[in-house]
Amino acid sequence: MAGLMAGFGNFTHAVVRAIPASFAKEALRTNCLEVDLVKAQREHEHYVGVLKHKLGLQVLELPADESLPDCVFVEDAAVVCGDTALITRPGAASRRNETDAMKKALTELSLNVVEMDDETATLDGGDVLFTGREFFVGLSKRTNQRGAEILADAFKDYAVSTVPVLDGLHLKSFCSMAGPGLIVIGSSEPAQRALKIMQQMSDHRYDKLTVPDDLAANCVYMNLPSKGHVLLHCTPEEYPESAKVFEKLKDHMLIPVSNSEKVKVDGALTCCSVLINKRAEI
């Protein structure tokens, strides 16, 4: 599989967005935890710094918008694969205007921008897992069947399968890719059940890396020319047992990145960037 997926994880650009002051009090959340705004902004600056300076990506930084407290979570506003960018229709109505700045940014990067303008459709990028061979789309509180159908229409070269997300906000709240053909999955029963569904629906075989903590299963994988396999993952301070599991990936450059504040509003590592592989002319 690795040979057939040689381009999987190749990225040259990233789109990120700053955290507004409104984030601490007004960002959507499924709990009542208090967010330290300054710490959240510091964590995010470190995350962006890793992409830009440690990994050498071209990073397009969009300004914060105080009227959009969740706007740092850019992943939900677009799904990019190859030269095509699907501008989503987020499931939370308060987040719909986040797509305006994302559409502008991806248009400026000369991507083929497709808009989801069916008002019955909802899709958050956090529900979209691209494996390099196919898409899995979580049907959740934020994403519906029509949203999945429009994604399938936008990316016709790939099979698209839907997975019920009964616990957690998004599909990628408990899984992500850690390499070609390698799915990181949380150990909870709902996470394992979702993985079983994905395996049953797929024509491809995937290896799995199981971590004790569902939230730690959300990682950012890249395969960069000068770095090889790279994985941004949880810190030992946040999830000590899960961090030990990642140490098994001896061929990866492992980069622990703190997410202790954004996780309080259901944010994860993949949420904070849209990764793009652009041709040399950009």
- Pinpoint the alpha helices (H) of 11-97: 23-26, 37-49
pLDDT digits (tens, 9 = 90+) for 197-244: 999 999 999 999 999 999 999 999 999 998 999 999 999 999 999 999
pLDDT digits (tens, 9 = 90+) for 9-33: 999 999 999 999 999 998 999 887 8
Q: Which residues contact 26 (CB under 8 A, 6 or more apart)?
A: 69
Residue 13: active-site member: no
pLDDT of residue 1: 38
Residue 142 labeled ligand binder: yes
Report in angstroms the alpha-carbon separations of 124 from 42, 89, 144, 181, 257: 25, 7, 9, 23, 23
Task: Check 170, 229, 233, 252 and give the catalytic one.
Answer: 170
User: Within a 10 A sphere around the Cβ of 205, how many other Cβ atoms?
Assistant: 8
Residue 70 labeled ligand binder: yes
Structure tokens at 53: 């300076």
Residue 265 labeled ligand binder: yes
* Sign, Cα dihedral of 118, 93, 139, 267: positive
What is the model's pTM?
0.96
pLDDT of residue 130: 98
pLDDT digits (tens, 9 = 90+) for 90-99: 999 999 999 9
Task: Check 81, 219, 271, 272 and give the catalytic one.
Answer: 271
Q: How many whole angstroms separate alpha carbon 217 and alpha carbon 176?
A: 6
Report in angstroms the alpha-carbon separations of 197 from 128, 165, 212: 15, 11, 20
